[in-house]
Copies of this chain bind each other. A is one copy, B any other.
């Protein structure tokens, strides 16, 4: 199989790049990477889980293209997004005498992509970077747009860089091996593009969402391509999140608080937190008479149809406290002039940035949500 491919372009002047989406594009990554970055030295950064299945085909394709890559394999999990691991990756690459024309290739999910991009941004003040996302979440969200970073004891992604890749290769075939729970978590970010700016895409997902989740290759490729195109358009318009890019945080202010409370771990995946957070944002919008209740109900029906979580997890006797959740929001990057920014919606496909939300209303909403 040579793969079927369809490239999108993220337009950022001299920092523009292609996003190759399709089945089998991993097997033809070598020539694409060579075309985008040249013939300099390469390093693949990946984790043990991903390496087991996808490292060999990538290495083979790189070799066939005349690129001889070294590989850095990290333990899987959010713990790798640390200063210590960045330092380790940077030093391992520097051991090999990189030049400014050298390339770091991230093969993995969001953790690997965020970490590797940050390392690439600082080695010699910036070497080439290629994203090969292997989760749905990374394919439709984190691999596109240049946000890289690590976590600190204060929270997630609080240190990092805006650093664009030279190429993104999203092989939708790799999603076949992704656990259902992770697939569903990534699907939350797919829905998001419909909810914030594209009611037509949301309608398409209502018809085809279960096919996307159940393994229909064409539906998957369409959903990933549409999501990448939506993200690319937003990033091209506002790379550094001074305006419209903030809409991509729909559901994320609430979601961030939920993740902070659960420790950013397996109890609640990022996509699950975003899924619940988007419902909260819609409910808050309805409570403030900004969004028709019927739209919220329609979104809830799609959650039910696909199995997306709508309510906070109550396993391990976890108790949710609205005041604590609001405190978590205050430590988010999205705080401006001491105020928490929310993304609200006037309806499906019509999100907007709200900087003047009354935190009493947020607490009332959370009271209902965690009591439910």
Contact = CB atoms under 8 A, between A and B. Distances in A.
A336 interface: yes
Contact of A91 (B154, B157, B160): B154
A300 to B, nearest CB: 34
Interface string A157-170: 11111100000000
A248 to B, nearest CB: 14
Nearest to A146: B125
A42 to B, nearest CB: 15
B122 A152 contact: no
B336 A125 contact: no
A160 B122 contact: yes
A298 interface: no
Determine chain A's interface SS by DSSP, over half rule.
Answer: mixed
Interface stretch (A29-37, A97-105, A359-367): A97-105
Given A91-B153, A94-B154, A124 B83 contact: no
A336 B123 contact: no
A319 interface: no
Contacts of A122: 118, 149, 159-161
A122 B162 CA distance: 9
B94 A158 contact: yes
A60 interface: no
A9 interface: no
A315 to B, nearest CB: 30
A335 B99 CA distance: 6
A121 interface: yes
Nearest to A155: B94
B123 A161 contact: no
A83 B122 CA distance: 11
Interface in A103-140: 118, 121-126
A154 B335 contact: no
B159 A336 contact: no
Give the number of times this chain occurs in the complex, counting copies: 2
A356 interface: no
A180 interface: no
A289 interface: no
Contacts of A149: 122, 125
A270 interface: no
B101 A125 contact: no
A336 B101 contact: yes
Contact of A99 (B86, B125, B336): B336
A90 interface: yes
A124 B336 contact: no
A147 interface: yes
Nearest to A153: B91
Contacts of A162: 125-126
A216 interface: no
Contact of A331 (B83, B86, B97, B100): B97
A217 interface: no
B123 A337 contact: no
A86 B335 CA distance: 23
19 contacts: A83-B83, A83-B86, A83-B87, A83-B90, A91-B153, A94-B159, A95-B154, A97-B331, A99-B337, A121-B161, A122-B149, A124-B158, A125-B149, A125-B157, A125-B162, A125-B333, A126-B161, A126-B162, A161-B161
Closest 9 CB pairs of A and B: A94-B154, A83-B87, A122-B159, A125-B160, A124-B333, A90-B159, A125-B162, A99-B335, A94-B158
